[in-house]
A and B are shown apart, each in its own frame.
Chain A
Amino acid sequence: MTLLSELKLQPGNTFYVKDLSSVDPLVRRRLCDMGVIEECLLRFKGSMPFGGPFMFECNGQRIGLRRKEAAYIEVEC
């Protein structure tokens, strides 16, 4: 298990979400609404320049997430 912030992300990378407990509760709720829960598959689609948000794909939908908020997601490649 590694924090997302520790990964060297390349567009197209996929990984399983392992733990969301250190993510902000409101963000976690919203992610849960979008279907991002433990054991779900995420694909990194890209990031905006100058520290902008990340884009992930999950269950056929794309999700934009702030770098700061995404950093706390624990994943397994």
Chain B
Amino acid sequence: MNKVALVGNPNTGKTSLFNQLTGSYEYIGNWSGVTVERKIGILRNRLGELIDLPGVYGLTPISKDEGVVSDFLWNEAYSSILNIVDASQLERNLHLTVQLREMGKPLLVGLNMIDVAGKRGTVIDCAELSQKLGVDVIQVVARTGQGCQDLLAALSQPVRQPLPLKLDYGAVLEEAIEAVAKQMPMDIQEHHKRSLALQFFEGNHVIRQILATNIEEDALQALLDDTKKLLITSGNSNSIGNHIYRTRQKFIQETLETAFLHNENRDDALTEMIDKVVTNRFLGIPIFLLLMLLIFKLTFDWLGTPASDLLDSFFFWAINGHVLVRVNSYRCKWVYREADPSWHRRWSRWCPRLRTTNFYFIFLYFADRGFRIYGTGSIGHGSTNGENRPEREGFHPDDYRLWLQRSRHHGCSHNRATEGTAIDDHSNTAYVVFSTPCRIQSVRRRIL
């Protein structure tokens, strides 16, 4: 199956795009050894798998997330890389693209947020960019889904494997790269060696460990130190990483010079203005508190109360006439109290409020208790014997008493075990306690 890795800078819309291309998460797990989420989805046209990787600025890791990406790209099998790039921050984003191009794996670039870039006065010539980078560039707006069809189509067919990008890093570094590449383990493919060597000089310790299997640690360190010394004496860079960064920066700037049709880089005046007000030194905190009050009012007064009343009336409609109760047997003692309608009322009034305040986990906690009592739990097998059931329309407590006696008399062990009953003749209500799970409809049917 086509396996596509989704790579990009943080906050460039990777996850939005992932959702657009796949519909939903098919599988969520952890990367082994780290608690970084691994999300895999099936493309909408079912022609491949998409793997959402954490956002990174480059392939040299300094955090766990970045380590995951570097490790995945070098060690795991995938058919192509989809590099998502923020068009409004192209210069910064292309550093990663350049590194991916140097790796030489099949690559496709998704130019995202072209709408934001457009607002800021940046117009990009996609064809020119594609030609300069040597890969296909497809414009998308992940937020709205614009262009995602093109991207899906491009992903479904095998992405062409370009030759690795080769930038000239100057005589000193080129020589050092050559020296490292020569000594690499035999099983590394020829065209990967250069990229691996480069990442070693950038300070990628994952690569360093790979190299350490073949080259002595001291020799590696000596090579690093020598190269650094030579670079400092010959050029204007103060470290190897800096030199590599600048070389790439130069390539990117040259690329963008031709690829930018128009680049004004004007500030978003509206954002600036909003910032001025809401992050004001004196007004900021009062505005924040005011917003909080607004949300509080919204959840408890304006939206929450009508919603909880609605739910309240729904539950009273659902349990109309007779309250159905299911609890585990050890809870029998409490049941009569919990079956008290006022308790239901209190519970059902609370639950929409909890939802609107986003304390969803609290809601779930109560729901666990609540659904036990309403009996909406999963249905067990072995239903009540049909002939034992009172068939008459309309319900009278006496019928139920009779039915219970008959069931006990017949000794139906497969009957849904009733742990206890309480019948209130005044309100025409039967409180039933079941010890095994059953669905509310089935219980109602049995009683009626």
Contact = CB atoms under 8 A, between A and B. Distances in A.
Contact of B245 (A26, A37, A61): A37
B91 A35 contact: yes
A33 B92 contact: yes
Q: Which of A26, A33, A49 has the most CB of B within 10 A?
A: A33
A30 B92 CA distance: 12
A60 interface: yes
Interface residues of B, number: 18
A37 B267 contact: no
Contacts, number: 34
B58 A33 contact: yes
B62 A60 contact: no
B89 A61 contact: yes
Contacts of B238: 21, 38
Contacts of A38: 238, 242
A61 B116 CA distance: 13
Interface string A26-38: 1001101111011
A55 to B, nearest CB: 9
Contact of B120 (A29, A35, A60): A60
Nearest to B89: A61
B120 A30 contact: no
A59 interface: yes
Contacts of B120: 60
A37 B62 contact: no
A21 B239 CA distance: 9
B307 to A, nearest CB: 38
B235 to A, nearest CB: 13
Interface of A: 21, 26, 29-30, 32-35, 37-38, 49, 59-61
